[in-house]
Chain A
Amino acid sequence: MDIIRKKYYWWNKWTGYALIILLFVATPLVTILFKLFASPGGSWSHIANNLLYGYFQNTLLLLLGVAALTFLLGVSTAWLVSNYEFPGRRYFEWLLILPLGFPGYIMAYTYVGILDYTGPIQTFFRNTFDISFKGSLIDIMNLPGAIFILSITLFPYVFLISRSSFLQQSKTMQEASFLLGANRTKTFFKIALPMARPAIVAGIALASMEVLNDYGTVKYFGVNTFTTGIFRAWFSMGDATTAIYLAAILMIFVFLILYLESLQRGNRQYSSVNGLNKPTARIEVSMQKKLLYSAICTIIFLISFLIPFLQLLKWVWLTHEKVVNQEFLTLIYRSFGLAAIAGVLIVIFSVILLYALRLSPFKWVKSITKVATLGYAIPGAVIAVGVMIPLLAFDKWVYDALLSARTAGLFLSGTLFALIFAYIVRFMAVGYNPVEAGFQKIGIHVNEASRLLGVRSTKTLWKIDLPLIKTTLFSGILLVFVDVLKELPLTLILRPFNYQTLATKAFDMATNEMIAESANAAVIIILTGIIPIIFLNQMIKKREL
């Protein structure tokens, strides 16, 4: 096959497109990295002496904790719903994705609300049995609590990706395993799990980057991580250079995660060569096991979604008259539109990047395209600054060169362009990773066959590659959609005047410590998130047939 690849010169139009996109996406990142060459700010020695160790420790523990818990929750449920028949299975397939719509900080506020003094549980005990608890029922405002909150909102990443991997694993492999005398459990550990490993690790990597980016939850719980450190240096101490130093250390974490992820993938080919992907039939198990599996999924669903969601609904019931009005429709419409635009653009860009990579025999192309996904781990506020610096320079250039007069207002910055640009930088990884997994799954041979038959690269992409990875394309768009809907710090800084989204609305209320009022916007974020999730589930199921 190398002969075919060598036929192509390293430069083709796809590499060209890819380079343009990379330039576009990398500009803010490079802008930030450039700041590293400035000497460290005055607060650096203070932070290094008093805080850095704690940041390291907390960030590492948080990462490991969330990785372990999302693995446990995501892979176990994915295996159950893709391999066994039990009551409610069809529903759990999409119910277990719903927590993804929950913004982490809303989940944190909600759980504190459920467990604290004025929450439903304590109120019930106090008013019915006159039993009072000292403090919160279970104290979750600490590191284990943060791990819990982040895991229950992030495990659907692992669930979603490993489930579609389990479903698409070749039937023949597993049947061979059974024929050789291995039972389901052994097959899981020896065949299914290793085969799904790239997908699972990709899911955990996504979750890990969300963890590194989280600010709302850790701040509320008083857990100091690198991200809180960046905010502290930048904003509390007004020391941008030190903040960028910390952001750079954070980026090393990201490189490490990405490196470990690619290392474990290695040179192994996990794609099936012939593309015969008949899924394994689900098996019937004893009644007891059925009930057990149902119970496991039910409990996870209750904790990760239904209970907190009901608490939010209760708050909505208490406060909706005050909050919900005409303005809300505008908010929904805007948030939805922004999220959809970002989702589609990111997936288009990912396809172009990955197709260039697919056609290229050169390793370095792969490392370069990875750069596009780095933005995911950088705190939104830092990206916002990285986006503003080049755009403002552009604006200034426009004014000086073209208008030769100072006009109030700005051309690109302060518009939706800046906001969408930032979303693309920030969420590229979310769309990129599923598309990448999709390309890997179908293998390169179909593409090469088409090219050998003389079909041009663009036509091959449209006729062969894209139809085969349709599901992953949609899941990419939808994952971005849900993420953008929840996004906060970027939107706060870069949105144009008078521009509210659901997330900023919820945040305004929450920062004012009006949690019950903020539930109105939160519920709509979650409900809008459900529509694409159901849709996404349909797509995965179609593939299954």
Chain B
Amino acid sequence: MLKNILKSTILGLVAVSLYACGGASDQEEVVNVYTHRHYEADQQLFDQFTEKTGIKVNVVSASADELIQKLELEGANSPADVLITVDAGRLHRAVEKDLVQAVESEILNTNIPSKFREPGNKWFGLTFRARILAYSKERVDPSELSTYEALTEENWKGRVLTRSSENIYNQSLLASIIANNGEAAAEEWAGNLLANMARTPKGSDRDQVKAVASGEGDVAIVNTYYIGIMLNDANEEERKAAEKIAIFFPNQDDRGTHINISGAAVTKYAPNKDNAVKLIEFLSEVEAQNFLASINFEYPVNPKAEYSDLLKEWGSFKADEINLSELGKRNKDAVIIFDRVGWK
């Protein structure tokens, strides 16, 4: 009896796995995507792509780190065609580990400015986000604000908020400071900023905004699109909290505000390379870019795309022009500095 159960169990497992394989053996045109972007907007864009080209988009979403690990393990047999991440650091790591390939595409070169592309065209930015200062309208005069560096001054003691260093957006911000000011200055900055914090770094970007609204701190370093999401939240209190803060683009008089990208790359062993390029091209076109900007409050990389009303309201700003692959190179140094100064 038990033997039979064991037998049927094994048979069942084999059947299940064969069934799961069966889906992949169809002859239809597909593109397999590993993505860190789990936004509803993306799925809608993939559906539009399928409608337009007849190519089915298969998706696995997980964190970029895990997806990179997965690509690395799968090696030449990997089914993945496209890797999409939400920051340049991870794309850089994929390049470093030789998991992605260069793509020559006129469309991509036209649609995406070179600063949003890897110099060897191994990855392409799709959208960018600015890491800005969200300050209390009640307690902060915007004339007090100037740069990320200025937040380390004495008058900001106990007033600054940001999340933990586990977070990639903070890692990339510090990486940009290392790239611009050097490692020693960056370590000093991280240490002094930590000393000025209103509380130990924790929570999400939205939590930082709420902490400003509640008066726990006066200025928070956060990404733009979270404020967009908050302003459109179903909960009235969330919207009210977001309205208590205003945003400030720092470093306008020098290098510009730190930005980070979400971007895509074609994997090295992509079995459907042509479809992969088509998908990235599709995402870089004005139509898709407008969509991303309007639904998710991200900045489109395509200069022809239009900003959403909210982004227009925030106004144009000078962005740090550093090539984003530099941030990837310095990501590890940034993490080490965070740990050394004790920024959790």
Contact = CB atoms under 8 A, between A and B. Distances in A.
Given A222-B202, A516-B233, A406 B66 contact: no
A389 interface: yes
Contact of A51 (B204, B226, B339): B339
A319 B238 CA distance: 13
Contact of A497 (B5, B32, B164): B32
A133 B97 CA distance: 49
A133 B214 contact: yes
Contacts of A345: 9
14 contacts: A46-B339, A222-B164, A235-B66, A381-B66, A384-B66, A415-B16, A417-B20, A458-B1, A496-B60, A498-B60, A512-B229, A513-B204, A514-B229, A516-B233
Given A116-B207, A236-B335, A458-B2, A228 B166 contact: yes
A220 B237 CA distance: 22
A239 to B, nearest CB: 9
Nearest to B62: A492
A304 B21 CA distance: 42
Nearest to B5: A348
Interface string B112-129: 000000000000000000
A516 B75 CA distance: 38
A237 interface: yes
Interface string B1-23: 11001100100011011011101
Contact of A513 (B32, B166, B226, B234): B226
Contacts of A248: none
B201 A415 contact: no
B79 interface: yes
Nearest to B203: A141
B203 A512 contact: no
B146 interface: no
Contact of B202 (A116, A141, A235, A493): A141
Interface in B39-80: 39, 58-63, 65-66, 69-70, 73-79
Contact of B214 (A122, A238, A504): A122
A338 to B, nearest CB: 10
Contacts of A458: 1-2
A232 B171 CA distance: 12
B213 interface: yes
Contacts of B79: 408-410, 414, 497
Contacts of A409: 21, 24-25, 77, 79, 271
Nearest to A492: B62
A493 B23 CA distance: 19
Contacts of A416: 16-17, 19-20
Interface stretch (A86-94, A279-287, A391-399): A391-399
B182 interface: no
B211 interface: yes
Interface in B193-234: 199-207, 210-211, 213-216, 226, 229, 233-234
B104 to A, nearest CB: 22
Given A417-B16, A497-B60, A135 B214 contact: yes
Given A46-B339, A118-B238, A410-B77, A512 B38 contact: yes
Nearest to B339: A50
A498 B46 CA distance: 12
Of listed A235, A508, A516, residue having the most chain B CB within 10 A: A235
B210 A116 contact: yes
Interface string A113-132: 00011110011000000001
B93 interface: yes
Nearest to B242: A118
Contact of A508 (B2, B25, B61, B214): B61
Given A409-B79, A410-B74, A238 B93 contact: yes
Interface in A279-334: 315, 318-319, 322
A389 B214 contact: no
Contact of A352 (B2, B66, B234): B2
B6 to A, nearest CB: 7
Interface of A: 17, 43, 46-47, 50-51, 112, 116-119, 122-123, 132-136, 139, 141-142, 219-222, 224, 228, 231-232, 234-238, 240, 315, 318-319, 322, 345, 348, 352, 381, 384-385, 388-389, 392, 395-396, 399, 406-417, 420, 458, 461-462, 489, 492-493, 495-499, 504, 508-509, 511-514, 516
B206 A513 contact: yes
Interface SS majority for chain A: helix
Contacts of A516: 233-235, 238
Given A318-B234, A406-B77, A492-B62, A118 B229 contact: no
B103 interface: no
B280 to A, nearest CB: 18
B102 interface: no
Contact of B215 (A51, A134, A322, A511): A134
Contacts of B331: 236
Interface in B170-205: 171, 199-205
B214 A134 contact: yes
A513 B86 CA distance: 14
In this complex, the member of B62, B76, B240 whose beta carbon has the largest number of chain A beta carbons within 10 angstroms is B62
Contact of B199 (A135, A392, A396, A408): A135
Nearest to A499: B60
Contacts of A395: 77
B304 interface: no
Given A118-B240, A141-B202, 10 more contacts: A134-B215, A222-B166, A234-B65, A392-B74, A409-B24, A458-B1, A492-B61, A492-B62, A496-B23, A508-B61
B73 A385 contact: yes
A232 B20 CA distance: 33
Contacts of A319: 234
A489 B67 CA distance: 12
A123 B213 CA distance: 12
Nearest to A13: B3
Contacts of A136: 214, 216
B213 to A, nearest CB: 5
Contacts of B336: 46
B332 A237 contact: yes
B16 A413 contact: no
Contacts of A228: 166
Contacts of A17: 6
Contact of B203 (A46, A222, A499, A509): A222
A220 B203 contact: yes
A499 to B, nearest CB: 8
Instruction: List the 6 closest A-B pairs by CB distance, nearest first.
Output: A408-B271, A222-B202, A235-B65, A135-B216, A417-B17, A508-B38
